[in-house]
Amino acid sequence: MYTNTHTMGNKQEELEAIVQQESCDVVAITETWWDDSHNWSAAMGGYKLFRKDRQGRRGRGVALYVRESLDSVQLKVTNVKAECLGTRIREKANKADILMGICYRPPSQVDEGDELFYKQLMDVSKSPALVLMADFNLLDVCWNLNTAEAVYEISIVYRG
């Protein structure tokens, strides 16, 4: 499941109810708006929480909840500025591990930030089994007509 919460504050109970009803294995969230003061409300029974809070300013942040029964570890982040978080879920049947990722690209991000962001996406896209959820905030893309005023070089490759 993926959601953009634009602040988790008063939405935690609603999220937990949906996750339990839908029996989600993984929940990815953008714009959590958490900081150190939110540790008390972030936990969800039966799930491991991986999170990356925005540093130095209010807002944003990403999080992944992964069902505790899944063998998961957080991936090491090479780019601390990009709002991306990833986990590796170890497959038990000698198949490829699954990489789960969540990314948030602020609408005001400039070219230098985009380059770092794209580099990190290229690194994880080499995985044979990747699930990437993201809010790219590409405001001038018209998804109905598949057009854009600006030129974007984003390619998402599915390998399954």
The CA dihedral of 70, 73, 74, 78, to the nearest 10 degrees, is -140
Helix (H) or strand (E) holding 101: strand 98-104
120 touches 79 (CB < 8 A) = yes
Name the residue with higher pLDDT: 158 or 64: 64
CA 115 to chain centre: 18
Q: What is the pLDDT of residues 35-69, one digit of tens each?
A: 666 555 677 889 999 988 776 666 678 889 999 99
Q: What is the pLDDT of residues 90-138, one digit of tens each?
A: 877 767 788 888 888 887 777 777 777 777 777 777 777 888 888 887 7
Q: How many other CB atoms are found less than 10 A from the CB of residue 61?
A: 24
Please state, in angstroms and rounded to a whole number, the distance separating the CA atoms of residues 21 and 23.
6
Full set of structural domains in the chain with CATH: 2-148 (3.60.10.10)
- In the beta sheet, which residues pair with residue 29? 3, 63
**Which of 117, 99, 100 is CA-nearest to residue 108?**
117
Task: Answer left, alpha or beta for residue 94, where phi above 0 means left and psi between -120 and 50 means alpha.
Answer: left
Please state the three-class secondary structure of 27-92 as a single string.
EEEECCCCCHHHHHHHCCCCEEEEEECCCCCCCCCEEEEEECCCCEEECCCCCCCCEEEEEEECCC
